[in-house]
Structure 1
Amino acid sequence: MILKSVCSFLSSIRLIVCCCLIIWIFAQPTTAASVDIYHNFKELRSNTVENVDYKIETNVTDSDVIIIAIHGGKIERGTTELAYALSSHNDYNYYSYIGLRRKGNSALHITSEKFDEPTASEMVSKSKTTLSIHGCSGSEEFTYIGGLDTELGNKIKESLTKYGFTVLDTPKNMAGISPNNIVNKNMSGLGVQFEISKGLRTQFLSGNNDKLKDYVLAISEAVNSIQIEATP
């Protein structure tokens, strides 16, 4: 009888542990697409139609800063809008690869380390400062900051915090520290990667212009302060 009770107790414990593990796994923040269908842009272009499945939007200025959203439009919603707002406010260069499909836009996702669309590659290679805007899951409002440009990244963290935004420690899988990541393929070899939660991006798209404006102002202050410090 005692043995039966012990076995029953252990089974209950195992069930609880398994349930907690499953909940933990699904609660972890991830990017919009965990497995890519296409390994590079050439492969994607051969299997899709430009201006039907996707489009590329750019604006070239005389700035040495570029803002990119390589999973824009309906792939990671809100990233194109933020990239455009940030570049427009400062007259930075702007690039966005935009998913247009009514559904199934996650299939258009190409990971940052393999994103080699020619226009994006050329524009980034000519920039000194690169900011790459991405979206991650999470109903709460937060931002992860990664990339190899840790000096600018830390400035941006401080500025966002000052403006009342939450910046969390970045998970390793979103750190953006690979030299092959397009954000780090500029003239300095250093870039800043943003991973912005769905909850915060939803606010940007909800008509809450004050929140989007404050976010743009926070980043702008940090980027422009670095540029002033670098001026001889």
Structure 2
Amino acid sequence: MRGVRLLLLSDIHANHTALQAVLNDAEKRRFDQVIHLGDALGYGPHPREVLDVLRELDAICVLGNHDEMLLQYAAGRKEAKDSIVSMALTWQLSRLSERDVAWVRLWRDGIDDPDVGARYRHGTPVSLDHYTDSVPAAREAFTQWQGRLGFVGHTHVPAAYATLNSPVGDWVKVQAFPDGGSYMVAPSTRVILNPGSVGQPRDGNPKASYAIYDSVRGYFEVFRVAYDIERAQEAALEAGLPQVLAARLAIGK
């Protein structure tokens, strides 16, 4: 297995302002490959800009629940509702080109990467839209999935869940990263790692969140990055998106 440094992004949610701040920060840390763990779209004012950046980065992208919903609207398989999620996605769809939508259509619901020995999926290693958000949820995922290294998003909260190679019920631990931090993956453990959300953190810290994973050292490091939240809020309001989507950015909820 060759060594690689992965730049792990998730839940950008069409917030190009936060994405650019993250990429500026990540530049100085060196990485070989960008992995996006779902929900590039939804909520925010910059759907085209975010897809353009991911394309330029040659990112490996997995499908998130918001990305999937947008595809359902595009194909006429889902009726638009009077909800914040639906309003944002239908507006975004009007901003995207056929080429953009065709690219999102190519994203898969989960990818196994043999070079890293990892699974990339949005919700849990075995689900697009379930959450790995508690010890019981992680225990269930570890029971259903026998892999050693899983990368997920969806919760908008950076965290590491680990279990020993023993009966899963014995020992599952969680470590959160509200202000960033690092986690060493021990050879004897299986882990589910979440880099948090670039565009809409929900752990009370409004700073954008991302991670780098060094496959040689088994080292996972989460970084929190300040960005121009007011600018992102102004763009959301100018787009006519619901005010709550702009307001929540400032409080990290």
Superposition TM-score, scaled by structure 2 size = 0.25
Could you say which structure has the larger radius of gyration?
1
**TM-score, normalising length from structure 1?**
0.27
